[in-house]
Amino acid sequence: MTLEADILAAYPAEVTIAASQVAAALASSGEQAPRVLVVLDDDPTGTQSVANLPVLTRWEVEDFAWAFEHIAESNCGPAVYVLTNTRSLDPAEAATRNEEVVRNALAAASGKSANLRLGFVSRSDSTLRGHFPLEPDVIAATVEATTGETTDGVVLVPAFPDAGRVTIGGVHYMRGTGNDAGHLIPVAETEFAKDATFGFTNSGMAQYVEEKSQGRFPAASVIVLDLNVIRAGASTGDPAISAKAIADAIEPATGSTPIVADIVTENDLRALSLGLQEAERRGKKLLYRIGPPFVRARIGQEIREQLSGTEAYAGNTPSDAGGLIVVGSHVGVTTRQLKVLTEQHSAAHIVEIDVEKLLGEGAEDYLASTVDTVVAALHTGDVIVHTSRLLIKADDPAESLRIARTVSAAIVNVVNRTLKTFLPRFVIAKGGITSSDVAAHGLEIRHAIVRGPMLPGIVSLWEPVDGPAKGIPYIVFAGNVGDDESLAQVTKKLSSTF
C-alpha cells in the first residue's frame, strides 16, 4: 500500500470543469443528428451514478424506440442503459447478447421517426471483473458488420472515485478504509482479483489488457492517458488545453487500440469527456469500456444529490407493508453490511436461504416453504432474505457460474412468487447478478427510469414504469460498494418500522 497523496504529488492539480461545460460542448458539436449513448450494462449497478435516464431489461427494437422517444420528450440526457446481465453468462452467451443489443439499437435508431447517431458503451466492473476484451470486440464487430464503420480505439475507464476506485499512472487502485484510510491498494491485491470466473493478476491497466487479451494487445501497444495528459491545462486552468492533449494522444489509435485513462476526480472525468469529444470531432471512432460514473461525466450531467426517503416515494403512495431486502452477494463488504443491518434492525424478520438445500433434492418444496414464510412476515414488517454466507464454488469457472445462477434463480423465484401474492413497500437487491435477475425476472420490470442515488454517488433507485412492480421503489445495490453501515442507511430511509 502507498499513500495516495504521495502518488499524486508527482502530477499536476486537477482542472476545474463544470458539468455544464461538457453539456454545452455536446450541444454545440455541430453533428447533423443527435447522438445517444447506448450503455450495455453487464449488471444493473452501473446506473448508480446517473439520474433520470431510461433503463431497459429487454432490447427488442420497440424497447429502444420507447427509450429514444423518452429521451427526446423528457430532455433527460442522451443515454439509455440496457441491462444485459452478461457478467452472469458464459462467453458465448455474452457475445450473442451483445450482438443482439447492438443490432436492435442500430435498427431502432435508423427508423424513420428516430434518425439518431449512436455511441456504444460497455459498462462493467470498477474492480475489473467481466468479459474483457470479448464485449468491446463483439460491439465493434457488430457495428462494422451493420454500418461499415470500424473502431479506432477502445477507451478503458474503470475508475469509480465515489466508491474508492481510482487509476493513477496507469495503475488501478482501491482506496483503503478504516486503518488503511488514505492509502491505495493495487486492485490485483484485493479479493475481487480472486474472482472464480473473472480473476486477474495485474493492477497496471496496460498489463491487465495484455493478460486478458492473451497477448493480442501487448502492454506496449496500449495508449495511457496519465494525469499529465488529463490535467495538461492545470497551469492555466483551461480545459481546452487538456482536451487537445487527450485528442492528440489518441490520434495514433487504429484497429481497436486499447486506451487507458487515469482518473481520480469528477473533474478528471469531465476533462476526459471533452478530450474524447474532440477526438471524435476529428474523426476518431471510439468505443468505451467503463465503470459507473463515466456516462454521467460524458453527457455533462450534474452529480445528483442523494435521494431522501420522501423523494424515493415521490408520485407514489407507500404501502403499509414491510419492505423486502434481498442479499445475494458474497463479497466481504456485503457480509459486513448484512451483519450491521440485522444487528440494528431488530424488528426485521430474517429468512436465510440455504444454498446447499438449493443444490440438492427437494429444492422446490424448500423454496415454496420459504415464500410462505416471507409473505407472512411482510404483513408485519421488513423481511431480510439472504443466502447462506458459505460461498460454494468449484475449481472450474463454468461450474462456479452455474452454481451462482442456480442460487440467483432461487432468489428470483422467491421474489416473484412473493410479489404475485403480496406487494412489499419497497425492494432492495444487494449484489450485481442478484439485482439484475430480481429486476428483470423477479419484479418483471421491462422499462424503468433511474431516479438517482440513495447514497452519495452510489446505490441507485429505479422507478418501474410497467409490470407488477410499477410504483414500488426498487433499489439496485452493488455488492462491492459502500461501508459497513450503508445497507442499514438505505433501508432506514425506506422503512416504516426501522
Query: What sign does the CA torsion over 139, 145, 149, 151 have?
Result: positive
pLDDT at position 453 is 95
Between the alpha carbon of residue 238 and those of residues 14, 23, 175, 197, 235, the distances in Å are 11, 17, 29, 44, 8
Residue 110, judged by CB atoms within 10 A of its CB (0-12, 13-18, 19+), counts as middle
Q: In which residue are the cell numbers 450491521 written?
A: 340
For residues 155-184, average pLDDT:
95
All CATH 3.40.50.10840 domain ranges of the chain, comma separated, are 2-298
Q: Is the pLDDT of residue 385 over 90?
A: yes
The model's pLDDT over 452-470, given as tens digits with 9 standing for 90+, comes to: 999 998 899 999 999 999 9
The model's pLDDT over 208-247, given as tens digits with 9 standing for 90+, comes to: 999 999 999 999 999 999 999 999 999 999 999 999 999 9
pLDDT at position 34 is 66
CA angle (326 as vertex; 494, 88 as ends), nearest 5 = 130
Q: Is the peptide bond before 133 cis (omega within 30 degrees of 0)?
A: yes
Q: Are 449 and 465 in contact (CB under 8 A)?
A: yes
DSSP code per residue over 176-191: --GGGTTEEEEGGGSG
All CATH 3.40.980.20 domain ranges of the chain, comma separated, are 309-494
> What is the rounded CA–CA span in Å between residue 493 and residue 495?
6
The model's pLDDT over 12-52, given as tens digits with 9 standing for 90+, comes to: 999 999 999 999 998 887 666 668 999 999 988 889 899 99
Q: Is the pLDDT of residue 156 over 90?
A: yes
Among candidate residues 463, 458, 496, 461, the one with its CA nearest the CA of residue 479: 458
> What is the rounded CA–CA span in Å between residue 110 and residue 112?
7
Is the whole-model pTM more than 0.75? yes
- Strands 79-83 and 153-157: what pairing? unpaired
pLDDT at position 328 is 82
Write out the CATH class of domain 2-298.
alpha beta
The model's pLDDT over 399-429, given as tens digits with 9 standing for 90+, comes to: 777 777 777 788 899 999 999 999 999 999 9
Q: Are 386 and 327 in contact (CB under 8 A)?
A: yes
pLDDT at position 45 is 82
Q: Is the pLDDT of residue 333 over 70?
A: yes
Domain 309-494 has CATH 2.30.30.790: no
CA 161 to chain centre: 13
For residues 324-336, average pLDDT:
87
Average pLDDT, the chain: 93
